Amino acid sequence: MEDQRKPLATKNGEGNSRLPMFGSKLRPPSTVKRPRSPEEKQDNKRRCLDYSERTVETRARKSSETSKVSGKTGSSLTRQRSETSLNRSTVSNTSLRSTNSGSSLRANNVRPKANTAVVKPTAKAASCTNTRPPPARGAQGTVRLATSKTSSSNKPPAGNGGGGGKKRPAWDLKGRLEDMEAKLEKQTNNREGLVNQMETQNQRIISLESMNQQLSGTVSIKENIVSQASEEITDLKRKLRQEEDKHDEVQRGLQREISDMTFLKETLSRQNDSLQSDLNARRVEVDGLKASVAQLTSAQAGMGAELENTKLRLEQAVTSNKTKDTEIERLRNLLENRDREIEEQNCQIRSHETERRKLHNQIQELKGNIRVFCRVRPLLGDETLGNDGMISHMNFPDQEQRIIELDKTGDATLNESCLTKKGGNNAQSKYEFGFDKVFSDHTSQQQVFEEISQLVQSALDGYNVCIFAYGQTGSGKTYTMEGTSVNDVDNRGMIPRAVLQIFDSTRELESKGWKYALDASFLEIYNETIHDLLGDEDLKHDIKMSGQKNSNEVFVTNLTIVPVTKEEMVYQLLQKASKNRSVGETKCNERSSRSHSVFTLKLTGENSITGETSQGTLNLVDLAGSERLKESGSEGQRMKETLAINKSLSNLGNVIMAIGNKDNHIPYRNSKLTYLLQNSLGGNSKTLMFVNVSPKEECFQETLNSLRFATKVNQCNIGTAQQKR
C-alpha cells in the first residue's frame, strides 16, 4: 500500500520531504507555528490521518504474520500483544510525560496497539504537521493513564516489607503471610482490572481493525478515483490545450474577420457615401420623373381616349379585314388562274420566240444576205470653208435613202461609164449608185445602228454576221465601227452599240429560258500577219480549222479571248486594243489605215426550258484604206503594205463574187482576212458592208472606186443563210 501511495505523495512534491520514514529520528515539534491556510490545514490533517492508518495497518499485518509463524491463536496473540503494548505504553508515556504536557500524552494513548506504534506516528505526525500531537480521544486513554499512575503509586517502595512499610521479621511468618495475601489480593485486583482493560482494548482493536479494513477499501477506491481523476485531469489539460489552440485559431480567424469587416465597413461606408449622393441625384431625378409622370398621366388620359377610338376603328378594321380576306381569297384564286394563264402564255411566247427567229431570218434573207450600206461622212474643220459644210458633188435624191448621186463638173479625166451624161463638150458626169441604204452626212450613229441592229439580233439567234467598213482612209470607217470615244455616248460606234444591244437582248431572253455566254477577241491583220490587240505579249498567231468532226470552225492560235459579262468590259477592251495599236506604230492612224482590224464576239446561247441552243458570231471589221496606191514608185515596207492591202481587198471582192456566182472554188485562202472570215462569208452567214465615202471633192475618184466595188458586192446573191443549231 505504501508503494501505491508514494507516487501520489511524490506527485504532490511534498511526501518525501515531509513524511518521515520509519526508524528516522523523531524531532521535537517546532515551537514556531507557521500560519496555514484552511485548505493546507485540511490537507495536512488528512495526510497525517492516512499515515496513522497506514501505520496501524502495517502493524496489524506484521503481528498477523508473526502469529502465523509462531502458531499461536489470534486471540492469545492479541492478548499478549495487548499486554506488551500496555506495558510499553506505560513506560513510554511515562517518559514522554516528563517532556510533554499531559494532554498530549493522553492523545497518544488513544492508539489501540503497541505503545511504540502509537508513539511513533504521533511523533511523525507532529513532524509532518509541525504541530502538537493530536488531542486525546476517548476516556480510555485517561483510564489507562490513571491505571499507570495507580500502578506506579501502588508499587511498594524498594526494600519495604508488607504491613505499613515496615519489614516483618523472619519469624513473623503469619505477618509475612498476611502481607503476601494482601499483596496477592492487590495483584489479583490489579490483574482483573487489567484483564478487563485488555478485553476492552481488544474489542476496540477488533473494531478498529474492521474500521481499518473499511478505510483501506475506501482508500483504494479513493486512489482509483484519484488515479482516474489524475488521468481525467491530464486528459482535460490536453483537451484544454487543444481548446486553447482552437481558441487561438478562432481568435486569429476572428481577428482577420474583424480586419476584413473593418475594411468592408470602410468600403461600405464609402459606397454608402457614394450611394447617398447617388440617392440624392436619383431623388432629384425622381422629382423630375414625377413631374414627367404627371404629364404622362394627363397624356395617357388623352391616349386612353384615343385608344378607345382606335379600338373602335380596329373593330371596324377587323370587320373590313374579314371582308378583305374573302376578297383576298377570291383574288388568290384569280391569281392562280392568272399564273396558269401566264405560264401558258410564256409557253406560247417561247414558241413564238422560235417562230420569231424564223420569220426574222426570212426577212433578213428577203433583204439579202449581203447588204451594202453607203455612208458619207460630213465635211469637217477646214473642209467646210467656202461651202458652208454643203457637199456640192453629192446628192441623196430619194426618200427611201437608197440612192447616192455623184456630180462631177469640169474636165473629168474619168474613163468610167456614167449613168447619165449631161451637156456637150463641157462634160458634166453624174453617177448614180443604189444600195440597201444610203446614209447622208447628216445621219447620226444611232440612225445607222438602227439599220444594223436586226443583224445583231441575227447573231443572237445563232447566225454568223459579218459587218465590214470599206473605204478610203479618212472616209469614216473607224468612226462608224468604234466611234470617237466610248465615253462620248452620241458618237459611239457600231461595236459598242452592238454589244449594248446584245446585253439588253440576253437579259430579255433570260425570261424566255435563254442564257448566253459572250467571248470577245480583237485582232489586226497587217501585212498578212495577225496581231492580238488584247494580248500582253507579241506572239505568233496562225489561223486554224477546228479538228473536230463535222465542224469547220476557224480559230486563231494564241489569241486572247475574253469572256464579257457586262458592257463596260467591252469598252475597256476597245481601249486596250487602241493602246496596243499605238504601241506597234508611232503613227497610229497610218498603221491602222494600212491594216484590217477584226472585233469578234462569240454568242453561245442555251435555253434551259426548251433545250434549244444557238451559236452565233458577230464580226465587225474595220478594213484597211481602200485608196489605190500606185505600186510603181512604192518601195520597201510601203510596197509590201500596198501589195498586201490590194491583195486582201481585191480577194475579199473575189470571194464574195465567187460565192455569188456559186463557184466551186471560193478563194478564201488567198488572203488572211477571207480565210479568217470564211464562215462569216457565204451561205450560212449574213454580211453587211459599209462603204464609207469622203465628202471631199478631191476624193471623187476614190469615192467612185469605192462605190463601184460596193456595187459589185451588192449585186452578189449569197445563198440562203443557215442557222447554226
CB of residue 497 vs ligand ADP: minimum separation in angstroms? Answer: 14
SS3 for 417-444, per residue? CCCEEECCCCCEEEEEEECCEEECCCCC
Tally: H helices and E strands in the chain:
16, 15
Taking alpha carbons only, the member of 475, 391, 482 closest to residue 445 is 482
Give the nearer residue to ligand ADP in terms of CB position, either 380 or 639.
380
The reply on whether position 585 binds ligand ADP by CB under 6 A is: no
DSSP string, 575-593: HHHHHHHHHH-SSHHHHHH
Query: Which of Mg ion, ligand ADP, none is residue 687 near (CB under 5 to 8 Å by kind)?
Result: none
Cα–Cα distance, 495 to 487 (Å, whole number) = 13
Nine cell digits for residue 248:
487561438
Q: Looking at beta carbons only, is 42 or 484 nearer to ligand ADP?
A: 484
Q: Is 478 annotated as a binding residue?
A: yes
475 a known binding residue? Answer: yes
Given its phi and psi angles, is residue 388 left (phi above 0), alpha (psi -120 to 50 degrees) or beta? left
Residue 364 touches which of Mg ion, ligand ADP, none (Cβ within 5-8 Å per kind): none
Partner from Mg ion, ligand ADP, none binding residue 121, C-beta < 5-8 Å depending on class? none
Residue 660 contact partner, candidates ligand ADP, Mg ion, none, CB within 5 to 8 A by sort of partner = none
Taking alpha carbons only, the member of 388, 405, 387 closest to residue 396 is 405
The set of long-range contacts for 485-491, using a CB threshold of 8 Å and a minimum separation of 24, is 486/571, 486/574, 486/575, 490/444, 490/445, 490/446, 491/445
CA distances to 43, 82, 445, 449 from 570, in Å:
131, 158, 18, 17
Least spacing, CB of residue 479 vs ligand ADP, in Å: 3
Beta strands 464-471 and 514-526, pairing class = unpaired
CB of 477 to ligand ADP, least distance (A): 3
Residues 326-365: x where in contact with ligand ADP by CB under 6 A, - otherwise, as a string: ----------------------------------------
Shortest gap between Cβ of 597 and ligand ADP (angstroms)?
10
> Is 78 or 475 the residue whose CB approaches ligand ADP more closely?
475
CB of 387 to ligand ADP, least distance (A): 16
> 93 vs 597, which CB is nearer to ligand ADP?
597
Site for Mg ion in 434-493 (CB under 5 A): 477-478
Distance CA 66, CA 75 (A): 13
Q: Is 197 annotated as a binding residue?
A: no
Q: List the one residue out of 557, 553, 534, 548 whose CA is nearest residue 617.
A: 553
Spatial CA neighbour of 696 closest among 382, 233, 318, 254: 382
How near is the Cβ of 474 to ligand ADP at its closest, in Å? 5
DSSP strand pairing (403-408 vs 420-422): unpaired
Cα–Cα distance measured from residue 89 to residue 85, given in angstroms and rounded to the nearest whole number: 6
78 binds, options ligand ADP, Mg ion, none, Cβ within 5 to 8 A by partner type: none
Among residue numbers 666 through 705, which ones bind ligand ADP (CB under 6 A)?
692
Q: At closest approach, how far in Å is the CB of 652 from Mg ion?
A: 17
Sketch the per residue contact string, 457 through 486, with ligand ADP: x for CB under 6 A, - otherwise: --------------x-xxxxxxx----x--
Residue of closest CB approach to ligand ADP:
476
Stretch that binds Mg ion, among 84-92, 208-216, 319-327, 584-592 (CB under 5 A): 584-592
Taking residues 191 to 230 in sequence order and writing x for each that binds ligand ADP by CB under 6 A, - otherwise, the string is ----------------------------------------
Interacting partner of 595 out of ligand ADP, Mg ion, none (Cβ under 5 to 8 A depending on kind): none
Distance between CA atoms of 53 and 121, rounded to whole angstroms? 9
Residue 478 C-beta: closest distance to Mg ion, Å: 3
Give me the 81-110 binding string for ligand ADP, x by CB under 6 A, dash otherwise: ------------------------------
Choose between 445 and 615: whose C-beta lies nearer to ligand ADP.
445
State the binding partner of 377 from Mg ion, ligand ADP, none, CB within 5 to 8 A by kind. Answer: ligand ADP
The dihedral over CA atoms of 127, 130, 132, 135, expressed in degrees to the nearest 10, equals: -80
One residue of 49, 380, 639, 643 binding ligand ADP per CB under 6 A: 380
How many other CB atoms are there within 10 angstroms of residue 710's CB atom? 25
62: which 3 cell numbers?
Answer: 506484521
Cell for 596? 484590217
Placement of cell 482483573 in the chain:
192
Q: Choose between 129 and 578: whose C-beta lies nearer to Mg ion.
A: 578
Q: How far is the CB of 655 from Mg ion (least distance, A)?
A: 22
Q: How many whole angstroms separate alpha carbon 466 and alpha carbon 598?
A: 10
- Choose among ligand ADP, Mg ion, none what residue 522 binds, the Cβ cut-off being 5 to 8 Å by kind: none
Contact between 588 and 577 (Cβ < 8 Å): no
Q: In the stretch 540-579, what mask flags binding to ligand ADP with x, by CB under 6 A?
A: ----------------------------------------
User: What's the closest the beta carbon of residue 655 comes to ligand ADP, in angstroms?
Assistant: 22
Could you give the angle at which helices 140-154 and 173-367 cross, rounded to 10 degrees? Answer: 150
Per this entry, what is the length of the chain?
Answer: 725
Residue 477, annotated as binding a ligand? yes
Q: Which stretch binds Mg ion (CB under 5 A): 195-203, 430-438, 573-581, 587-595?
A: 587-595
Q: What share of the chain is helix, strand, coil (3-state, %, to 5)?
A: 60, 15, 30
Query: How far apart, in Å, are the Cα atoms of 704 and each of 367, 503, 695?
Result: 25, 38, 12
Answer for which of 18, 144, 377, 497 binds ligand ADP (CB under 6 A) is 377
Our CA angle for 497, 502, 504, nearest 5°, is 95
462 annotated to a ligand binding site:
no
Say which entry of ligand ADP, Mg ion, none residue 55 contacts (CB below 5 to 8 A, set by partner kind): none
Q: How far is the CB of 411 from ligand ADP (least distance, A)?
A: 29
Kindly determine how many residues on this chain lie close enough to bind ligand ADP according to the rule CB under 6 A.
Answer: 14
Angle at 691 between CA 689 and CA 695, to 5 degrees: 160
Binding interface with ligand ADP (CB under 6 A): 377-378, 380, 471, 473-479, 484, 593, 692
- Binding annotation for ATP: 471-478
Binding residues: 471-478
- Binding stretches for Mg ion (CB under 5 A): 477-478, 592
